[in-house]
């Protein structure tokens, strides 16, 4: 003989599982993807699903000029044919001695040398004002160049950690996002992005500094 009530319990469990599955099926992933792209103004770019590791990816589009912000690797930054293809002459160089600004002497190019991986070796991020000052050159360069209609590439060696963190910070600034949402969107647009080591702490500092500035302005 079966255990009394076991059949009813199984029925309830099955019904709950079916309801949960139905609830999951109700998520419109296509719409979620469109909303994600709309957040960074890339909804009209015809972007497919990014590969796990691409040489570069678009992560933001200026809403007025249409200029694109890319995050990519060192190969992209040193290959003129690729830079021509994506229309980039403005580059954020996030490396140090492990890389080079290959077209620095070409007057068509403009570089921002931004060694974000060195942030802990300075005292600049000890408080909110210092953190905002640390990020100001990056934000000014990206915002200024894209406002002028110039595409920008942020790169490091792999386009994952240093450039990925700088790109995530840019999304926080340009789209007024918190670090968690900005990181989520950045990784969706470029799956290779992975703020590791002390970079999550740096993004936390940026988030806190932005919140403090917002509170002070209200």
Identify the pLDDT of residue 38.
74
Low-confidence ranges of the chain (pLDDT < 70): 1-34, 36-37, 40, 42-52
Identify the pLDDT of residue 21.
46
Identify the pLDDT of residue 212.
96
Identify the pLDDT of residue 14.
53
Q: What is the pLDDT of residues 134-192, one digit of tens each?
A: 999 999 999 999 999 999 999 998 899 999 999 999 999 999 999 999 999 999 999 98
Identify the pLDDT of residue 22.
45
What SS3 string covers the chain?
CCCCCHHHHHHHHHHHHHHHHHHHHCCCHHHHHHHHHHHCCCCCCCCCCCCCCCCEEEEEECCCCCCEEEEECHHHHHCHHHHHHCCEEEEEECCCCCCCCCCCCCCCCEEEECCHHHHHHCCCCCCHHHHHHHHHHHHHHHHHHHHCCCEEEEECCCCCCHHHHHHHHHHHHHHCCCHHHHHHHHHHHCCCCCCCCCHHHHHHHHHHHHHHHHHHHC
Identify the pLDDT of residue 20.
46
Q: pTM, whole model, 2 decimals?
A: 0.81
Identify the pLDDT of residue 19.
47
């Amino acid at each position: 003989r079966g255990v009394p009530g076991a059949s009813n319990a199984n029925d309830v469990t099955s019904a709950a599982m079916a309801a949960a599955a139905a609830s999951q099926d109700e998520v419109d992933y296509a719409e979620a993807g469109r909303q994600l792209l709309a957040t960074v103004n890339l909804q009209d770019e015809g972007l497919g699903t990014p590969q796990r590791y691409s040489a570069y990816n678009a992560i933001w589009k200026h809403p007025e000029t249409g200029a694109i912000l890319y995050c990519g690797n060192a190969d992209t930054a040193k290959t003129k044919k690729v830079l021509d293809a994506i229309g980039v002459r403005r580059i954020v160089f996030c490396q140090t001695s492990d890389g080079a600004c290959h077209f620095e002497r070409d007057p068509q190019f403009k570089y921002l040398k931004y060694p974000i991986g060195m942030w802990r070796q300075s005292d600049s991020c000890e408080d909110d004002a210092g953190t905002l000052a640390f990020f100001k050159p990056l934000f000014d360069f990206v915002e200024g160049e894209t406002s002028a209609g110039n595409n920008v590439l942020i790169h490091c060696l792999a386009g994952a950690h240093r450039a990925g963190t700088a790109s995530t910070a840019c999304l926080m600034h340009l789209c007024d996002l918190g670090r968690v949402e900005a990181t989520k969107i950045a990784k969706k647009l470029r799956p290779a992005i992975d703020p590791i080591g002390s970079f999550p702490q740096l993004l936390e500092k940026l988030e806190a500094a932005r919140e403090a500035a917002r509170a002070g302005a209200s």
